[in-house]
Amino acid sequence: MVDIGPPPECWTRRHLLGLEELSAEEITLILDKAMVFKEAMTAGRKKIPLLTGKTCVNLFFENSTRTRTSFTLAARRLGADTLDFSASTSSLSKGETFIDTAKNLEAMGVDVVVVRHRTPGTPQLLAQNLRCSVINAGDGPHEHPTQGLLDIMTIRERRGSLKGLTVALVGDIAHSRTARSNIWGLKKLGAHVIVCGPSTLVSPRWAEIDVEYSYSLDDILPRVDVLNLLRIQFERQFSRPFPSVREYAHLYTMDAQRLAKTKDDILILAPGPINRGVEVTPEVADGSHSAILEQVTNGVAVRMAVLWLVAGERGKGEGGCVAAGLAPRCSSI
Protein backbone atom coordinates (compact mmCIF):
# COMPACT_ATOMS: atom_id res chain seq x y z
CA MET A 1 0.00 0.00 0.00
CA VAL A 2 1.20 3.55 -0.74
CA ASP A 3 1.62 5.59 2.45
CA ILE A 4 0.29 8.96 1.30
CA GLY A 5 -0.70 9.84 4.87
CA PRO A 6 -3.93 11.41 6.18
CA PRO A 7 -5.50 14.48 4.51
CA PRO A 8 -3.14 17.28 5.60
CA GLU A 9 -4.47 19.91 8.01
CA CYS A 10 -2.75 22.78 6.18
CA TRP A 11 -4.66 22.12 2.94
CA THR A 12 -8.19 23.55 2.74
CA ARG A 13 -8.35 24.62 -0.91
CA ARG A 14 -10.99 23.36 -3.29
CA HIS A 15 -9.20 24.82 -6.32
CA LEU A 16 -5.70 25.28 -7.67
CA LEU A 17 -5.79 28.56 -9.57
CA GLY A 18 -2.20 29.78 -9.30
CA LEU A 19 1.00 29.68 -7.27
CA GLU A 20 0.80 33.37 -6.41
CA GLU A 21 -1.79 32.70 -3.68
CA LEU A 22 -0.18 29.53 -2.26
CA SER A 23 2.06 29.61 0.81
CA ALA A 24 5.50 28.01 0.89
CA GLU A 25 3.97 25.36 3.19
CA GLU A 26 1.25 24.51 0.64
CA ILE A 27 3.74 24.31 -2.22
CA THR A 28 6.04 22.08 -0.16
CA LEU A 29 3.08 19.85 0.73
CA ILE A 30 2.22 19.32 -2.95
CA LEU A 31 5.86 18.55 -3.79
CA ASP A 32 6.18 16.10 -0.87
CA LYS A 33 3.01 14.24 -1.88
CA ALA A 34 4.12 14.22 -5.53
CA MET A 35 7.36 12.52 -4.45
CA VAL A 36 5.36 9.80 -2.67
CA PHE A 37 3.32 9.21 -5.84
CA LYS A 38 6.47 9.23 -8.01
CA GLU A 39 8.22 6.68 -5.78
CA ALA A 40 5.15 4.44 -5.87
CA MET A 41 4.99 4.61 -9.67
CA THR A 42 8.74 4.05 -9.99
CA ALA A 43 8.30 0.94 -7.81
CA GLY A 44 5.77 -0.36 -10.32
CA ARG A 45 2.48 0.78 -8.75
CA LYS A 46 0.42 1.94 -11.72
CA LYS A 47 -2.86 2.26 -9.79
CA ILE A 48 -3.29 4.04 -6.46
CA PRO A 49 -7.10 4.15 -6.10
CA LEU A 50 -7.54 7.16 -3.83
CA LEU A 51 -10.10 8.92 -6.06
CA THR A 52 -12.32 5.98 -7.00
CA GLY A 53 -15.80 7.24 -7.85
CA LYS A 54 -14.61 10.76 -8.75
CA THR A 55 -14.85 12.18 -12.27
CA CYS A 56 -12.40 14.67 -13.81
CA VAL A 57 -13.06 16.55 -17.04
CA ASN A 58 -10.42 18.19 -19.25
CA LEU A 59 -11.85 21.45 -20.58
CA PHE A 60 -9.11 22.57 -22.97
CA PHE A 61 -9.62 25.53 -25.32
CA GLU A 62 -5.94 25.62 -26.35
CA ASN A 63 -3.78 22.81 -27.70
CA SER A 64 -1.78 20.64 -25.35
CA THR A 65 0.28 17.47 -25.37
CA ARG A 66 1.90 17.21 -21.92
CA THR A 67 -0.64 18.88 -19.62
CA ARG A 68 -3.78 17.30 -21.02
CA THR A 69 -2.31 13.79 -21.27
CA SER A 70 -0.69 13.87 -17.85
CA PHE A 71 -3.87 15.11 -16.12
CA THR A 72 -5.74 12.20 -17.73
CA LEU A 73 -3.05 9.73 -16.68
CA ALA A 74 -2.88 11.18 -13.17
CA ALA A 75 -6.65 10.92 -12.68
CA ARG A 76 -6.78 7.35 -14.02
CA ARG A 77 -3.87 6.24 -11.84
CA LEU A 78 -5.84 7.51 -8.87
CA GLY A 79 -8.84 5.47 -10.00
CA ALA A 80 -10.96 8.43 -11.14
CA ASP A 81 -13.01 8.46 -14.33
CA THR A 82 -11.95 10.98 -16.99
CA LEU A 83 -13.79 12.92 -19.67
CA ASP A 84 -12.28 14.89 -22.53
CA PHE A 85 -14.34 17.86 -23.65
CA SER A 86 -13.93 18.89 -27.28
CA ALA A 87 -14.83 22.56 -27.76
CA SER A 88 -14.98 22.33 -31.56
CA THR A 89 -17.66 19.59 -31.55
CA SER A 90 -19.61 20.93 -28.57
CA SER A 91 -22.77 23.06 -28.41
CA LEU A 92 -20.61 26.15 -27.90
CA SER A 93 -20.88 26.40 -31.69
CA LYS A 94 -24.69 26.76 -31.26
CA GLY A 95 -24.31 29.76 -28.97
CA GLU A 96 -24.23 28.10 -25.55
CA THR A 97 -22.13 30.16 -23.15
CA PHE A 98 -18.90 28.98 -21.58
CA ILE A 99 -20.42 29.07 -18.07
CA ASP A 100 -23.58 27.21 -19.16
CA THR A 101 -21.37 24.58 -20.77
CA ALA A 102 -19.37 24.15 -17.57
CA LYS A 103 -22.53 24.07 -15.40
CA ASN A 104 -24.02 21.35 -17.62
CA LEU A 105 -20.88 19.24 -17.26
CA GLU A 106 -21.03 19.75 -13.50
CA ALA A 107 -24.70 18.72 -13.47
CA MET A 108 -23.62 15.35 -14.88
CA GLY A 109 -21.64 14.73 -11.70
CA VAL A 110 -18.16 16.03 -12.53
CA ASP A 111 -15.97 16.52 -9.44
CA VAL A 112 -12.94 18.30 -10.97
CA VAL A 113 -12.69 20.61 -13.98
CA VAL A 114 -9.19 21.03 -15.43
CA VAL A 115 -9.32 24.12 -17.64
CA ARG A 116 -6.97 25.68 -20.19
CA HIS A 117 -8.06 28.88 -21.90
CA ARG A 118 -6.40 31.77 -23.71
CA THR A 119 -8.14 34.33 -21.45
CA PRO A 120 -6.47 35.13 -18.11
CA GLY A 121 -8.88 34.63 -15.19
CA THR A 122 -10.97 31.89 -16.84
CA PRO A 123 -10.26 29.37 -14.03
CA GLN A 124 -11.21 31.99 -11.41
CA LEU A 125 -14.46 32.66 -13.29
CA LEU A 126 -15.28 28.94 -13.28
CA ALA A 127 -14.41 28.64 -9.59
CA GLN A 128 -16.87 31.44 -8.84
CA ASN A 129 -19.65 29.70 -10.77
CA LEU A 130 -19.18 26.00 -10.00
CA ARG A 131 -19.37 23.95 -6.82
CA CYS A 132 -16.80 21.39 -8.03
CA SER A 133 -13.02 21.80 -7.94
CA VAL A 134 -11.26 23.82 -10.64
CA ILE A 135 -7.61 23.38 -11.63
CA ASN A 136 -5.87 25.93 -13.82
CA ALA A 137 -4.03 24.15 -16.67
CA GLY A 138 -2.91 27.49 -18.17
CA ASP A 139 -4.85 30.75 -18.56
CA GLY A 140 -3.33 32.90 -21.28
CA PRO A 141 -0.11 34.50 -20.05
CA HIS A 142 -1.31 34.53 -16.42
CA GLU A 143 -0.40 31.24 -14.66
CA HIS A 144 0.30 27.55 -15.28
CA PRO A 145 0.60 26.34 -11.69
CA THR A 146 1.16 22.62 -12.27
CA GLN A 147 3.94 23.45 -14.76
CA GLY A 148 5.58 25.68 -12.15
CA LEU A 149 5.24 22.89 -9.57
CA LEU A 150 6.75 20.21 -11.78
CA ASP A 151 9.65 22.49 -12.72
CA ILE A 152 10.31 23.21 -9.05
CA MET A 153 9.92 19.51 -8.13
CA THR A 154 12.59 18.63 -10.73
CA ILE A 155 15.01 21.22 -9.32
CA ARG A 156 14.33 20.14 -5.72
CA GLU A 157 14.81 16.47 -6.60
CA ARG A 158 18.18 17.17 -8.24
CA ARG A 159 19.45 19.73 -5.71
CA GLY A 160 17.67 18.84 -2.47
CA SER A 161 16.52 22.40 -1.79
CA LEU A 162 15.65 25.62 -3.61
CA LYS A 163 17.20 27.83 -0.94
CA GLY A 164 20.09 29.90 -2.26
CA LEU A 165 19.89 28.61 -5.84
CA THR A 166 19.96 31.04 -8.76
CA VAL A 167 17.37 30.09 -11.37
CA ALA A 168 17.22 31.90 -14.71
CA LEU A 169 14.06 31.93 -16.82
CA VAL A 170 15.14 32.68 -20.39
CA GLY A 171 13.08 33.76 -23.37
CA ASP A 172 9.57 35.12 -23.74
CA ILE A 173 8.89 36.29 -20.19
CA ALA A 174 6.20 38.76 -21.29
CA HIS A 175 3.81 36.11 -22.60
CA SER A 176 4.76 33.13 -20.43
CA ARG A 177 2.37 31.74 -17.82
CA THR A 178 5.09 29.22 -16.96
CA ALA A 179 7.43 32.10 -16.11
CA ARG A 180 4.88 33.65 -13.75
CA SER A 181 4.11 30.41 -11.91
CA ASN A 182 7.84 29.66 -11.63
CA ILE A 183 8.57 33.14 -10.29
CA TRP A 184 5.97 32.91 -7.51
CA GLY A 185 6.90 29.35 -6.53
CA LEU A 186 10.67 29.73 -6.73
CA LYS A 187 10.71 32.92 -4.69
CA LYS A 188 8.50 31.43 -1.97
CA LEU A 189 10.90 28.49 -1.63
CA GLY A 190 13.96 30.75 -1.33
CA ALA A 191 15.53 30.79 -4.81
CA HIS A 192 16.97 33.88 -6.50
CA VAL A 193 15.22 34.38 -9.85
CA ILE A 194 16.62 36.06 -12.97
CA VAL A 195 14.42 36.74 -15.99
CA CYS A 196 16.46 37.05 -19.19
CA GLY A 197 15.58 37.80 -22.81
CA PRO A 198 15.21 40.63 -25.33
CA SER A 199 14.16 43.99 -23.84
CA THR A 200 10.86 43.73 -25.73
CA LEU A 201 10.03 40.56 -23.75
CA VAL A 202 11.56 41.35 -20.34
CA SER A 203 10.28 44.28 -18.30
CA PRO A 204 12.55 46.10 -15.82
CA ARG A 205 9.49 46.21 -13.54
CA TRP A 206 10.25 42.68 -12.38
CA ALA A 207 12.84 44.31 -10.13
CA GLU A 208 9.92 45.78 -8.12
CA ILE A 209 9.22 42.31 -6.70
CA ASP A 210 12.88 41.42 -6.24
CA VAL A 211 13.31 39.50 -9.49
CA GLU A 212 16.57 40.32 -11.29
CA TYR A 213 16.33 41.05 -15.00
CA SER A 214 18.96 40.81 -17.72
CA TYR A 215 19.04 41.26 -21.47
CA SER A 216 22.27 39.27 -21.86
CA LEU A 217 22.30 35.49 -21.49
CA ASP A 218 26.08 35.41 -21.85
CA ASP A 219 26.48 37.76 -18.86
CA ILE A 220 24.44 35.64 -16.44
CA LEU A 221 25.57 32.15 -17.52
CA PRO A 222 28.57 31.78 -15.15
CA ARG A 223 26.47 32.35 -11.99
CA VAL A 224 23.24 30.42 -12.60
CA ASP A 225 22.46 26.98 -11.13
CA VAL A 226 19.39 26.27 -13.27
CA LEU A 227 18.33 27.48 -16.73
CA ASN A 228 14.66 27.15 -17.66
CA LEU A 229 14.40 27.80 -21.41
CA LEU A 230 11.00 29.17 -22.42
CA ARG A 231 9.43 29.02 -25.85
CA ILE A 232 8.76 32.23 -27.80
CA GLN A 233 4.95 32.41 -27.78
CA PHE A 234 4.36 33.83 -31.25
CA GLU A 235 0.67 32.92 -30.95
CA ARG A 236 0.24 35.54 -28.17
CA GLN A 237 2.03 38.40 -29.98
CA PHE A 238 0.59 41.07 -32.24
CA SER A 239 3.99 42.13 -33.59
CA ARG A 240 7.39 40.46 -33.71
CA PRO A 241 9.42 41.27 -30.59
CA PHE A 242 12.74 40.92 -32.44
CA PRO A 243 13.85 41.32 -36.09
CA SER A 244 14.25 37.60 -36.86
CA VAL A 245 14.37 34.19 -35.20
CA ARG A 246 17.98 34.00 -36.44
CA GLU A 247 18.88 37.11 -34.45
CA TYR A 248 17.12 35.75 -31.34
CA ALA A 249 18.97 32.46 -31.73
CA HIS A 250 22.30 34.28 -32.01
CA LEU A 251 21.77 35.95 -28.63
CA TYR A 252 19.70 33.44 -26.63
CA THR A 253 19.88 29.88 -27.99
CA MET A 254 21.43 27.60 -25.38
CA ASP A 255 24.09 25.71 -27.32
CA ALA A 256 27.33 23.84 -26.58
CA GLN A 257 29.44 27.03 -26.62
CA ARG A 258 27.20 28.66 -24.03
CA LEU A 259 27.04 25.45 -21.98
CA ALA A 260 30.83 25.62 -21.66
CA LYS A 261 30.47 28.98 -19.85
CA THR A 262 28.15 27.59 -17.14
CA LYS A 263 28.82 25.90 -13.81
CA ASP A 264 29.83 22.21 -14.14
CA ASP A 265 26.57 21.03 -12.57
CA ILE A 266 24.19 23.35 -14.46
CA LEU A 267 20.65 21.96 -14.74
CA ILE A 268 18.83 22.58 -18.04
CA LEU A 269 15.02 22.66 -18.01
CA ALA A 270 12.40 23.50 -20.64
CA PRO A 271 8.65 23.32 -20.11
CA GLY A 272 8.02 22.15 -23.69
CA PRO A 273 7.10 22.15 -26.39
CA ILE A 274 10.70 22.93 -27.37
CA ASN A 275 11.65 24.50 -30.66
CA ARG A 276 14.99 22.85 -31.36
CA GLY A 277 17.50 25.41 -32.59
CA VAL A 278 15.58 28.40 -31.22
CA GLU A 279 15.63 28.28 -27.41
CA VAL A 280 17.92 25.24 -27.21
CA THR A 281 20.00 23.11 -29.58
CA PRO A 282 19.45 19.32 -29.77
CA GLU A 283 22.88 18.59 -28.24
CA VAL A 284 21.93 20.54 -25.10
CA ALA A 285 18.28 19.44 -24.98
CA ASP A 286 19.34 15.79 -25.19
CA GLY A 287 22.60 16.16 -23.26
CA SER A 288 23.66 15.09 -19.79
CA HIS A 289 22.67 18.36 -18.08
CA SER A 290 19.10 18.24 -19.39
CA ALA A 291 16.20 17.13 -17.19
CA ILE A 292 13.54 17.94 -19.79
CA LEU A 293 11.95 14.48 -19.92
CA GLU A 294 12.28 14.12 -16.14
CA GLN A 295 10.07 17.22 -15.92
CA VAL A 296 7.44 15.40 -17.95
CA THR A 297 7.63 12.33 -15.68
CA ASN A 298 7.29 14.57 -12.64
CA GLY A 299 4.27 16.23 -14.24
CA VAL A 300 2.18 13.09 -13.74
CA ALA A 301 3.17 12.86 -10.06
CA VAL A 302 2.50 16.56 -9.42
CA ARG A 303 -0.94 16.31 -11.03
CA MET A 304 -1.76 13.22 -8.97
CA ALA A 305 -0.88 15.17 -5.82
CA VAL A 306 -2.96 18.19 -6.87
CA LEU A 307 -5.98 16.07 -7.85
CA TRP A 308 -5.78 14.15 -4.58
CA LEU A 309 -5.59 17.37 -2.55
CA VAL A 310 -8.40 19.31 -4.26
CA ALA A 311 -10.77 16.37 -4.77
CA GLY A 312 -10.04 14.62 -1.49
CA GLU A 313 -11.60 15.23 1.90
CA ARG A 314 -9.68 18.40 2.81
CA GLY A 315 -10.31 19.92 -0.61
CA LYS A 316 -13.93 20.57 0.35
CA GLY A 317 -12.89 23.65 2.28
CA GLU A 318 -12.43 27.25 1.24
CA GLY A 319 -12.14 28.27 -2.37
CA GLY A 320 -8.73 29.86 -2.02
CA CYS A 321 -8.44 33.30 -3.59
CA VAL A 322 -12.04 33.21 -4.79
CA ALA A 323 -13.39 32.63 -1.30
CA ALA A 324 -11.17 35.43 -0.06
CA GLY A 325 -12.89 37.77 -2.50
CA LEU A 326 -9.78 38.54 -4.50
CA ALA A 327 -10.15 39.17 -8.19
CA PRO A 328 -7.83 37.20 -10.47
CA ARG A 329 -4.66 39.14 -10.95
CA CYS A 330 -2.70 39.21 -14.17
CA SER A 331 0.52 41.05 -13.56
CA SER A 332 1.17 43.88 -16.01
CA ILE A 333 4.85 42.97 -16.08
Coil, strand or helix at 256: helix
Is the separation of the CB atoms in 115 and 59 below 8 Å? yes
- Options 25-33, 66-74, 106-114, 190-198: segment touching ligand CP (CB under 6 A): 66-74
| Selection from 27, 30, 42, 43 nearest residue 4 by Cα | 30
Applying CB under 6 A, the site for ligand CP has a residue count of 10
Q: Sign of the CA dihedral 256, 260, 265, 267?
A: negative
Q: Determine, following the binding rule CB under 6 A, whether residue 141 of this chain makes contact with ligand CP.
A: no
Q: What one-character DSSP code corresponds to residue 20?
A: T
**What is the separation of C-alpha 261 from the centre of its chain, rounded to a whole number of angstroms?**
28
Q: Determine, following the binding rule CB under 6 A, whether residue 328 of this chain makes contact with ligand CP.
A: no
- Options 37-45, 64-72, 256-264, 310-318: segment touching ligand CP (CB under 6 A): 64-72
Is the separation of the CB atoms in 24 and 330 below 8 Å? no
Q: Determine, following the binding rule CB under 6 A, whether residue 72 of this chain makes contact with ligand CP.
A: no
Q: Determine, following the binding rule CB under 6 A, whether residue 128 of this chain makes contact with ligand CP.
A: no
185-210 core/surface letters (b: 16 or more CB in 10 A; e: else) = bbbbbebbbbbbbbeebbbeebeeee
Of residues 28 and 69, the one with the C-beta less far from ligand CP: 69
245: left (phi over 0), alpha (psi -120 to 50) or beta: alpha
Q: Determine, following the binding rule CB under 6 A, whether residue 214 of this chain makes contact with ligand CP.
A: no
| Selection from 307, 276, 308 nearest residue 292 by Cα | 276
Is the separation of the CB atoms in 143 and 181 below 8 Å? yes
Q: Determine, following the binding rule CB under 6 A, whether residue 148 of this chain makes contact with ligand CP.
A: no
Of residues 185 and 312, the one with the C-beta less far from ligand CP: 185
Candidates 55, 133, 136, 147: give the one binding ligand CP (CB under 6 A).
Answer: 147
Q: Determine, following the binding rule CB under 6 A, whether residue 272 of this chain makes contact with ligand CP.
A: yes
Taking the complex as a whole, the smallest distance from the CB of residue 17 to ligand CP amounts, in Å, to 16
Of residues 30 and 322, the one with the C-beta less far from ligand CP: 30
User: In the chain, how many H helices and how many E strands?
Assistant: 11, 9
Taking the complex as a whole, the smallest distance from the CB of residue 107 to ligand CP amounts, in Å, to 28
Candidates 42, 65, 199, 257: give the one binding ligand CP (CB under 6 A).
Answer: 65
Coil, strand or helix at 219: helix
Distance CA 260, CA 235 (A): 32
Q: What angle do CA 258, 293, 280 make, to 5 degrees?
A: 25
Candidates 271, 312, 320, 328: give the one binding ligand CP (CB under 6 A).
Answer: 271
Of residues 147 and 298, the one with the C-beta less far from ligand CP: 147
Q: Determine, following the binding rule CB under 6 A, whether residue 273 of this chain makes contact with ligand CP.
A: yes
Q: Determine, following the binding rule CB under 6 A, whether residue 84 of this chain makes contact with ligand CP.
A: no
- Options 61-69, 190-198, 250-258, 302-310: segment touching ligand CP (CB under 6 A): 61-69
Taking the complex as a whole, the smallest distance from the CB of residue 5 to ligand CP amounts, in Å, to 29
Of residues 4 and 291, the one with the C-beta less far from ligand CP: 291
Candidates 55, 67, 233, 298: give the one binding ligand CP (CB under 6 A).
Answer: 67
Positions touching ligand CP (CB under 6 A) are 64-68, 138, 147, 271-273
